Structure 1
Amino acid sequence: MTVDTGREDSPVADHGGTTATRRSPIGAVTAARQRHILYVATTDFVLLISAIVASEYLWLGTSADTIEPQFGLGYTKFGVLLALVWWGALRLAGSRGFNVLGTSDEYQRVVSATVTTFGVLAIVSLLAELNLSRGYLAIAFPLGLAAVLFSRRAWRRFRERQFLRGHHVKRVLVVGQPAAAKEIAQWFSRNRHAGLDVTGTWRPQGPEGRRLLRIGDRLIPSVGGSTALAPALDASEADMVVVSSTDELGHHGLRDLTWDLEAAGIDLMLSPNLLPVSGSRIAMRTVAGMPFVHVKKPQYAEAGNWPKLALDIVGAFVILMVAWPLMVVTAVAIKATSRGPVFYRQERIGRDGEPFAMIKFRSMHRNADARLRDLLAAQGADGAPLFKVENDPRITRVGRVIRRYSIDELPQLFNVLRGDMSLVGPRPQRESEVALYDHGDWRRLRVRPGMTGLWQVSGRSNLPWEEAIQLDMHYVENWSLVGDLQILVRTLRAVLAKDGAV
C-alpha cells in the first residue's frame, strides 16, 4: 500500500511483517514548521543584537572604554559575542524546539536561558576580574529578554492565525476506539490554534476492513485490524499518530509502533485521557524501569495560600487607586439619572458554601428583582442557570454603559479586600444555581470566588452552563499564580473588546 503525499517514499512495517511505502518526513507541513523555526531564530538574533547595541549607547554613549586593556576587546565586539552566546543559549535550552514553540513552556525556557546566560557571565566576570559595566548589563538583560518574549508572542499569534485558516495543520491518526477518537477530535476542534486535526482512526482490535466514522459534520476513515497500520496511515495521510489507549496494542505492540513510526518520520503521542488536568500537574516517573504518568494532587490548598492573598490585596488596592475617579463619576451618574441607591447588594455563595453580600454599581431600576421571574418566564427560561434576559427593560441608560465595559463590577474590589472574594476565581453564583450542582461541582466552592475567572475570559456570558462549570473546575484543580496573572491580562483584553458583555 502506498501513500501518495508528494514526498519521497520510506518503509513502514504494517505489524504483520509486510512492508508498506510511506511518505518521507520532509513534506509540506514539516517544511512549513521548519521555516517557522528559522524565522523565530532569525528574529531572536536580530533583536538580541539590537538590544545589546542599544544598551551600549544608552549607558556608555559613543565612547565606550575597553573591557580589559590587555585584551583590547571593546564593548561593541563584546556585545556581538554576548548576543551570539545568548542566542545559542536559547537554542540549547530548547526554546525553539519543534514541539516547544507555541506552548507555555516556551516562555519559561526563554527566561531560564537568559537568566543562566547572565548568571554565568557574572561569575566569569568576577573570576576573571573583567571591567564590565553593571549599568550596561542591567539595561541589556531586561531589554533583550522583553524583546525576545514580545517577538515570541507575536510569532505565536501569527502561527495560531495560520492554523485557524487551515494552513500547515498536522493530520492525526488516532489509535483506539471510535469514542476516544471523537473525544480527541472534538478537543482539537475547540482548540484549533494547536494546529492538529483528526483525519482517521485505527482500531487494532476492531473488525477487519475500512468504514467511515462521523465526527461532527465530517466523515473520516476508520480502519480495523491488527495489521492495518499502513492502510490506516494511507487513508488518513497522517503526519502524527495519537494512541488513545495502550490496551489496544499492548506493550510489545506499542514498542513496534514506535519503531515503525520512527522509520517513517511520523510523530507519536500517547494520550493519558486527562483532559481536565493541567500540564503542570503531570510528570513522567520511572518505577522499576517502567514509565508512569504521575498526576499531582489538585491545587485546592494552593489556591488559598499567601501568594494569592497577597496578589488579591495588593492588586485590589492598586486598581482602586487607579479607578477611584471613574468610580466617583459612575456613582454621580447613577444617582443623577435614576432613583435608588448607588450600590446594589446581592447574596452569593462563597468559599465552602458560605453566603456573602456581593457589591456592584446599580445598573437597573428599583424593584428589578421582583420583575425577574416574569421576564424569564416570558422568554421560556425560568430557573435556567446563567441565563440573562435579552433586551432587559430593567437596565438603565447608565447601566447599559457600565455593564458594557464591566464598570459595574468595580465595587467588588471591596469584597476582595474584605476577604469574601478574590481577583481571580470561580464566578460567585446564586443559591438557586448552586442547588443545581452535582457531587463533583461542589469542588468549585473550595476556593474564594473571583471578580473574573477562566470562563469569563473564555466567552463570558456566551458560554453554556456545563462548559462554564467545567472551566471553573479546571481552574480550581489546576490553580497557579502565573495562571491568575494570565487571566487578569486576558480579562482586560476581553473588557476592552466587549466580548460577551451584556
Structure 2
Amino acid sequence: MQDSASGAAINSKARLNNKVSEQLSQISYWRLAVNLVLMLLDMAMFVIAVAAVLVARNEITFYSSRFKFTLFPVVYFVLTALIWILCLHSSGVYHRHIMGDGYQLNVLIGKATVKCWFVLCACHFVLNMYAKLTAITLTVLLAALLTMIERVIVRKFIIASRKNGKYLYSTVLVGSPEGILSALKMLGQSKQLNYRPVAVCPIRLNENTGMVETETDFGDFLQEINDRWGSRLMMVNYGDRLAERIVAVGAQTVMVTDVLHRFSDNFNAFALQMESLNLEIALTASAVEISGHETQIRDIQGTSIMTIRLPQYSPYARICKRLFDIVVSLVAIILSSPIMLVVAALIKKEDGGPVFYTQERIGLRGKPFKIHKFRSMRVNADAHLAEVAAANGQEMGARVKIKKDPRITKIGHFIRKTSLDEIPQFFDSLIGTMSVVGPRPQRQFEVDEYDQIYATRLLVKPGITGPWQVSGRNDLDEEESRRLDVNYVQNWSVLGDFVYVLRTIGVVIHPNGAY
C-alpha cells in the first residue's frame, strides 16, 4: 500500500511538473510573439519614414565615403530600423504592461525619438554620410508619428481582443478573504488594468508562529465568490510548491492584496518562490506608500538610516510646474477666445443672467479661493442644491452629483457635456490660485468629510483637469476617484501633467461620465 501511495504521489508531482512546463512555454510564446510583431511593425514604420523623407527631398542617392559597397542602402535601412527599435526598447515601449496603453506609450515613444536622433547623428558622423541635419530630424519625427498611428491601430486590436479574454494576464489573488474580495471589486471596475482573475488563494497570519498559512475560516467568502464569479475562479491552497500550482492554472501574475507585508521574511520567501518561475508579483498598495519616494540609505556610526523624499516637491520642480501652468493657460486662453465669446453670448441670450459663475472653493493647504466658470445653471441654483439632492435620494456631502439636475439650463447641458464651462478657469490657473492639472477643488462641506489620507489632496493646487476627470469622471465610484486623486499627489510630474492635458483633449472629443 505504501508503494502504491508513493507511486501515486510521484505520478502527481510528475503531472504537475509537466503542466508547469507546458504553461510556462505557452506564456513565453505569446509574450514573445506579440513583442516580435510589434518590433517588426515599428521597424517597418521607420523604413517607410526614411524612404518618404529621401523621396520628398530628392536624396535617393546616398552613400558613405567610409563603406563603399553595392548593398549599402539595404544595410543602412536595416541598421537604422534596428537603432529605432533599440531606442524604443530602452525607453520601455516593449514592457509587458505598455503594449496596450495609450498616452503613456506616446510619451515613451517621444523619449525614444530624442534618443534615436542623437544616435543617428553619431552614426552619420562615423559613416561619413554627409546627410543633412534636416533630413535626420524629419526622419525621426515622421517615424515617431507613424509609430504612434501604428500603435493606435494595434491598441484597438488588443483592446478588442481583451474582451474575448486575449492579451490579459491571468492572475491569482493571494490574501485574506476580505482583501481578495476588495481586489476583485477593483479589477471588475477598472478598464485600464489588464489582470484577469483565474484563481484565489486565501491566507492568514498565524499569530502564534508568525507564519502564513491557508485560511480555513471563510465565512461568506466562498458564497460571494460563487455569486459574483461562479465556477470561473479556482481555489489554490497556500503551501509548498505554491508557485508550481499557480503556473499550472495558467497564471502569469500573482496579486498580493494583504497579509503578506513587504520587507517581512514571509514575503521574501514567497517572492523568491514566485520569481523563480518568472511569475510577476503585483501588490495592491496604499496610495501613500513610500514606494514612489526617492530613497537613500546611509550608515552612520554603525546605524543604517533610510531617508525618503518626493523629488517633485523640490523648489525646481515647483518652478517648472508653475511655468507649465502659465504657458498652457496662455495658449488655452488665446486659442479658446472665439469660443468663449460665442458661449458668453448664448448664456446671456438664454435668460439674461450673468455669464460667469463664481463660487468659493478650498485650494492649496485648505486656503479658500474663488473659482470661475461659465454659468450652466439657473440664477441662485446653489440655494436649491439641498432640495434637489433630497429629491434624488442623495445627502449633502462630498461628490454630490445629480444626473438629471433640473437647475441646469439648455446651454448649460451642452457646455457641461463638452467641458466648455471650465474654460474660464485657465484665468485662475494663470494667476496661480489653481493649476492646469490637479485634484478638482471642492467646497468646505465636502472638505470637512475628508479622512486623513484623502486630505493629502490639499497638498497640491487644485486643477482644471485631473486624474478622475480623464478616467470616467462622474461614473467612477467615490472610492476609485479618491484613490486616483491621492495617487496624483504622490506621483505628479510635469511630463505626467502634459499627458493629462492630452488625455483631457481626448475626453472632450469623446465625453464619458459628464453631466
TM-score scaled by length of structure 2: 0.79
Contact 1:341 1:362 in 2 (8 A): yes
Q: Which residue of 1 aligns with 2:400?
A: 387
Counterpart among 73, 77, 80 of residue 83 in structure 1: 80
Tell me if 1:205 matches 2:205. no
Q: Which residue of 2 aligns with 1:413?
A: 426
**2:477 corresponds to which letter in structure 1?**
P
Counterpart among 58, 65, 68 of residue 65 in structure 2: 68
| Distance in 2 (alpha carbons) for counterparts of 1:398 and 1:252 | 61
Contact 2:187 2:195 in 1 (8 A): yes
| Distance in 2 (alpha carbons) for counterparts of 1:106 and 1:95 | 6
Deviations 1:8-50 (A, max 9, x none): xxx9997xx9975424146655544433223212211211110
Q: Which residue of 2 aligns with 1:267?
A: 279
Q: Which residue of 1 aligns with 2:47?
A: 49
Residue correspondence of structure 1 range 90-489 to structure 2 within 5 A: 90=87, 93=90, 95-96=93-94, 98=96, 101-102=99-100, 110-111=109-110, 113-126=112-125, 129-191=128-190, 193-202=192-201, 203=203, 205-206=213-214, 212=222, 214-215=224-225, 217-219=228-230, 220-224=233-237, 226-227=239-240, 229=242, 232-233=245-246, 236-242=249-255, 245=260, 249=266, 251=268, 254-256=271-273, 258-259=275-276, 262=277, 267-269=279-281, 271=283, 273-276=284-287, 281=292, 297=310, 299-300=312-313, 305-489=318-502
Q: Which residue of 2 aligns with 1:37?
A: 35
Deviations 1:386-410 (A, max 9, x none): 2234433322222222222121111
Pair 366,84 (structure 1): closer, same or farther in 2 beyond 3 Å = closer
| Distance in 2 (alpha carbons) for counterparts of 1:31 and 1:209 | 39
**1:267 corresponds to which letter in structure 2?**
L
Give 1:278 deviation, angstroms.
9.3
Give 1:146 deviation, angstroms.
2.4
Contact 1:172 1:196 in 2 (8 A): yes
Deviations 1:141-172 (A, max 9, x none): 21112222332343234323322332243322
| Distance in 2 (alpha carbons) for counterparts of 1:277 and 1:436 | 19
**1:206 corresponds to which letter in structure 2?**
T
Give 1:134 deviation, angstroms.
2.0
Taking only the aligned residue pairs, the percentage that are identical comes to 28
Contact 1:164 1:193 in 2 (8 A): no
Q: Which residue of 2 aligns with 1:8?
A: none
| Distance in 2 (alpha carbons) for counterparts of 1:194 and 1:445 | 27
Deviations 1:105-124 (A, max 9, x none): 86566555554444234234
Contact 1:426 1:450 in 2 (8 A): yes
Give 1:179 deviation, angstroms.
3.7
| Distance in 1 (alpha carbons) for counterparts of 2:508 and 2:85 | 40
| Distance in 1 (alpha carbons) for counterparts of 2:11 and 2:162 | 28
Q: Which residue of 2 aligns with 1:7?
A: none
Q: Aligned with 1:383: secondary structure?
A: coil
**2:19 corresponds to which letter in structure 1?**
R
Q: Aligned with 2:352: secondary structure?
A: coil
| Distance in 1 (alpha carbons) for counterparts of 2:392 and 2:178 | 36
| Distance in 2 (alpha carbons) for counterparts of 1:12 and 1:341 | 81
Give 1:206 deviation, angstroms.
1.8
Q: Which residue of 1 aligns with 2:3?
A: none
| Distance in 1 (alpha carbons) for counterparts of 2:348 and 2:463 | 27
Q: Aligned with 2:401: secondary structure?
A: coil
Q: Aligned with 1:455: secondary structure?
A: coil
| Distance in 1 (alpha carbons) for counterparts of 2:68 and 2:505 | 51
Contact 2:292 2:490 in 1 (8 A): no
User: Which deviates further from its counterpart, 444-453 or 18-27?
Assistant: 18-27
Contact 2:187 2:193 in 1 (8 A): yes
User: Which deviates further from its counterpart, 225-234 or 149-158?
Assistant: 225-234
| Distance in 2 (alpha carbons) for counterparts of 1:137 and 1:377 | 64
Contact 2:361 2:441 in 1 (8 A): yes
Deviations 1:333-382 (A, max 9, x none): 22222132111111111111111111111222222222222222322324
**2:354 corresponds to which letter in structure 1?**
P
Contact 2:175 2:256 in 1 (8 A): yes
Deviations 1:240-286 (A, max 9, x none): 44456275856556545544xx3xxx524253x42526998268999
Pair 277,440 (structure 1): closer, same or farther in 2 beyond 3 Å = closer
Give 1:237 deviation, angstroms.
4.0
| Distance in 2 (alpha carbons) for counterparts of 1:187 and 1:389 | 24
| Distance in 1 (alpha carbons) for counterparts of 2:16 and 2:404 | 65
Pair 127,344 (structure 1): closer, same or farther in 2 beyond 3 Å = same
| Distance in 2 (alpha carbons) for counterparts of 1:386 and 1:207 | 37
Q: Aligned with 1:348: secondary structure?
A: strand
| Distance in 2 (alpha carbons) for counterparts of 1:185 and 1:108 | 30
TM-score scaled by length of structure 1: 0.81
In angstroms, what is the RMSD of aligned CA positions?
3.9
Pair 267,250 (structure 1): closer, same or farther in 2 beyond 3 Å = closer
Aligned residues: 479
**2:385 corresponds to which letter in structure 1?**
L
User: Which deviates further from its counterpart, 116-125 or 377-386?
Assistant: 116-125
Contact 2:363 2:433 in 1 (8 A): yes
Give 1:196 deviation, angstroms.
2.1
Give 1:411 deviation, angstroms.
1.2
| Distance in 1 (alpha carbons) for counterparts of 2:342 and 2:12 | 73
